[in-house]
Structure 1
Amino acid sequence: MFFSSHVPFFRAVTAVQSFRMFARLSEWYNRPTLGSLDLLAEGLTAALGVEVYPPGAHIPNKLTIHDISRLSHSMMHIYNGEERIVVKFQAIISPGERRDVDITPGKKWTEMKESVRNQFNIHNVDVKFMSGERELQHFSDFENLNGAIVDVIQQPQHKYKLDPSLIAKKHNYNFTRKKDDRTVYTRGNYQYNRPYGWFRYAVAVKNVYGDDNTWLGSRGKRRIQTSDGEWPVSYHGTKMKNKGGFFATQTNIDESKIIDGVYSSPSLDIIDELYAEEFVHNRTKYKIAFQNRINPDIDGDHMKIISKQHTCDGAEYWVSPLEDQENKIYDVRPYGIIIKKIKTDNNPQNYTQLG
């Protein structure tokens, strides 16, 4: 009687345990893995503000390294009190919503569009300008429109496909289980802060900028010292561009130290804290940021340094004032995309903001 009365209970407990074990194994098997292209596509969608689909999607446009640069770079524009108004017009984006807009000499067309998007607080769409039935496509189109009303038309997001050829998979590296052992690494004669705790997708950049790949340095596992002609490593996150960015965190910065150009930092800690974009994939939260090589030619004005003594957050920033894709000046070259898991939670209510 003792054994027969307890066997059904024992079997019931075993069945429940088996079900739970199966559920956990199923969840483990189907978990998003660091290194997967599906995860990367979701992260790039959050970071770049465009729709990036995983491989296999029927999307004609393949995401390129130049798209990543164009969509993620944080261009800052400071005029230092110089005379800058050539044409002032009123931009209307919807009934009752209008802004005064200045046309600035010496700036690119894409930069003027970015200025308008910032004024209207729209960042994930392209815009075009219409005067009546005529589309305004060049600065010269505005010459006779001083004080006029110009319609700002929002255009749909671009869609891209993440092609496997964008990633040099054999150079991916998992830093999630690596610990900082206080070894000092250098790249381009500057300290290189390895992305401990992150998974790095290596972008296929070899020969993208010409046959000379010296800027990448020599290959080798756990290489500590820099090699001749190598460029230093910096990081950037797209919150530097899309959410007020650098200047929102530098309220007390000396204006004389602010420089026009693309901003990044050798400090991954500050990018993680302030600028890395968050996203959710399969009910798990992640952060995404970009790892760059920077042209270190200070004498030629390709690189300027804002020391940590002049920033509110105590981090050093590097500025690349001559970066200009339109004229094939590539001083900021993303060569890695880094992602890390920041939280796992089974409560779906915690994901409504990041969805």
Structure 2
Amino acid sequence: MPPPRLCLEALSALSGCDVELTVGTSQLSPQDFVNVVALKEFYKQEGFKQLEYPSLGTMSLLDQDQDQDQDQDLYSSPGALTEGPSTAGPEESLRAKMKINPGDFFHQQYDYDFTQVTDGDKTFLRGNESYVRPCGWSRVALRVTQRYDSGDAWLGTGKDAWPVSYHGQNMDGSLGIIATHKGSPSDAAPKFLEAAAAIAVAGETRGRGVYSTPDVKMAEKYCRKFKSKVDGKTYKVVLQNRINPEKRQKCQREDVWLVYVPKGHNDVQTRAIVQESIRPYGLLLKEA
């Protein structure tokens, strides 16, 4: 396992929160953490300024790209935003603090070093669907076993397991903007992302929701980067999840999945959809 403080830096980069070490109980569970990451991206897409989350309070959605490398901020949401789920407090300087105890948040027993692994033509399945392992990355396991009433079958390798998806974070914002893009072709985003969003704007989905991908290479293109104060190196960070196959919409491209959030849903309903649909189990790190 990488140094705990490096892992907390990675959590800070993903969440836009100041993640601090504690010897007490972690303020959030891994499930709460992925909820925060996904909801911040979703509400930012929707044009909100702030997100209210239990135990964290009000978080700004305006400053979460400040630490990004310039080339990773090509598809950030525009500056003029409407009122968000919460209107309390200052609008541009709310950076929530999150206290995490590595002992109850991470599960070192299931860490796996893929940095020197190459799978070649090998194939792997999770939930009878292809699993592209994160070769080249180091996986820090999250403590998620025996945390759900339905048991741990979702985390296994059998037919009841959920497929694997990767959350590159910025991918959500880019696809959301493309799905509602009305500019000229000259200022449109890359063609492959337009194709990915094409099915999302058809029928009843209209691209409104949380995006992830079964392809770790695609997630890497939209991942967060951060420079560690622990060793001075720059890292990429991605969340490795399992996604509920009954809640997932497949887009035109096989490597883009959408968890749809219907219009009219309030904050509690939206959070429930994310919690029922996406479960994290790994924090992936890779030197940039």
What residue in structure 2 maps to residue 239 of structure 1? 170
Structure 2, unaligned stretches of length 5 or more?
63-76, 179-188, 262-268
Q: Pick from 254, 257, 264: which aligns with 2:212?
A: 264
Structure 1, unaligned stretches of length 5 or more?
1-33, 80-100, 103-107, 130-134, 136-150, 218-225, 309-314, 343-355
8 Å CA contact 1:293, 1:333 repeated in 2:
yes
Q: Which amino acid aligns with 1:188?
A: G
Q: Which amino acid aligns with 2:177?
A: F
User: SS of the counterpart of 1:339?
Assistant: strand
* 2: CA distance, partners of 1:77 / 1:49: 13
What residue in structure 1 maps to residue 114 of structure 2? 175
Are 1:70 and 2:70 matched, yes or no?
Answer: no
Residue pairs, 1:297-316, within 5 angstroms: 297=246, 302-308=247-253, 316=255
Q: Pick from 215, 230, 235: which aligns with 2:154?
A: 215
Q: 1:336 to 1:52 in 2, by over 3 A?
A: same
What residue in structure 2 maps to residue 283 of structure 1? 232
Q: Tell which has more relative contact order, 1 or 2 (C-alpha 8 A, sep 6+).
A: 2
* 1: CA distance, partners of 2:243 / 2:4: 26
TM-score, normalised relative to structure 2? 0.69
Q: 1:77 to 1:339 in 2, by over 3 A?
A: closer
8 Å CA contact 1:286, 1:339 repeated in 2:
yes
Q: 1:54 to 1:245 in 2, by over 3 A?
A: farther
The percentage of aligned residue pairs carrying the same residue is 26
Q: Which amino acid aligns with 2:211?
A: Y
* 2: CA distance, partners of 1:41 / 1:290: 13
8 Å CA contact 1:190, 1:232 repeated in 2:
yes
Q: 1:50 to 1:269 in 2, by over 3 A?
A: same
Structure whose CA Rg is larger: 1
Are 1:229 and 2:160 matched, yes or no?
Answer: yes
Please state how far the C-alpha of 1:208 moved relative to its aligned partner. 1.9
User: SS of the counterpart of 1:262?
Assistant: strand
Q: 1:127 to 1:51 in 2, by over 3 A?
A: farther
Q: Which amino acid aligns with 2:171?
A: M
What residue in structure 1 maps to residue 264 of structure 2? none
Q: 1:233 to 1:76 in 2, by over 3 A?
A: farther
Please state how far the C-alpha of 1:35 moved relative to its aligned partner. 2.0
What residue in structure 1 maps to residue 15 of structure 2? 48
Please state how far the C-alpha of 1:121 moved relative to its aligned partner. 6.3
Q: 1:259 to 1:325 in 2, by over 3 A?
A: same
Residue pairs, 1:170-209, within 5 angstroms: 170-209=109-148
